[in-house]
Amino acid sequence: MKIAFFSTKPYDREAFEPLAEEMKCDIDYFEEKLDSKTVSLVKGYDATCSFVNDDLNSDVVQALRDSGVKTILLRCAGFDSVDLEKARELNMPVLRVPAYSPEAVAEFAVTLLLAVNRKVHLGYNRTKEFNFDIDGLRGNVLKGRTAGVIGTGRIGKATIDILRGFGMDIIAYDVYPDMKSDIKYVSLDELLSQSDVITLHTPLTPETKHIINSDSISKMKDGVILINTARGGLIKTEDLIKALEEDKFGGVGLDVCEQESDYFFEDKSHVINKDRTLQRLLSFDKLILTGHQAFFTEEAMNAIAMITLTNFKKFIEDGDLTNEVNLFLESLQE
Question: Which residue from 53, 147, 51 is spatially nearest to 106, judged by alpha carbons?
Answer: 147
d(CA 200, CA 149): 6
Give yes or no: 260 in active site: yes
d(CA 75, CA 100): 9
pLDDT one-digit tens code per residue, 68-96: 999 999 999 999 999 999 999 999 999 99
Largest Cα–Cα separation, the chain: 64
47-50/71-74 β-pairing: parallel
Residue in 260, 276, 298, 330 annotated catalytic: 260
d(CA 234, CA 221): 19
Give yes or no: 292 in active site: yes
Nearest-10 Cα torsion for 8, 55, 254, 230 = -100
- Amino acid at position 194, single letter: Q
- Tell me the CATH number of domain 102-289, given options 3.30.870.10, 3.40.140.80, 3.40.50.10710, 3.40.50.720: 3.40.50.720
d(CA 261, CA 122): 27
**pLDDT tens, per residue, the chain with 334 residues:** 899 999 999 999 999 999 999 999 999 999 999 999 999 999 999 999 999 999 999 999 999 999 999 999 999 999 999 999 999 999 999 999 998 889 999 999 999 999 999 999 999 999 999 999 999 999 999 999 999 999 999 999 999 999 999 999 999 999 999 999 999 999 999 999 999 999 999 999 999 999 999 999 999 999 999 999 999 999 999 999 999 999 999 999 999 999 999 999 999 999 999 999 999 999 999 999 999 999 999 999 999 999 999 999 999 999 999 999 999 988 877 6
Do 234 and 211 meet the contact criterion of CB atoms below 8 Å apart?
yes
Neighbours of 279 (CB within 10 A): 10
Give yes or no: 270 in active site: no
Are 2-100+297-333 and 102-289 in the same CATH fold? yes
Do 273 and 245 meet the contact criterion of CB atoms below 8 Å apart?
no
Residue in 75, 96, 201, 231 annotated catalytic: 231
Model pLDDT, residue 99: 82
- Tell me the CATH number of domain 2-100+297-333, given options 2.60.120.620, 3.40.50.2300, 3.20.20.80, 3.40.50.720: 3.40.50.720
Do 156 and 103 meet the contact criterion of CB atoms below 8 Å apart?
no
DSSP 51-120: -TT--B-HHHHHHHHHTT--EEEESSS--TTB-HHHHHHTT--EE--S-S-HHHHHHHHHHHHHHHHHTH
Neighbours of 22 (CB within 10 A): 9
Could you state, in order of their start, the residue ranges of all structural domains in the chain? 2-100+297-333, 102-289
For residue 128, give Cα distances in angstroms to 88, 116, 131, 132: 54, 18, 7, 9
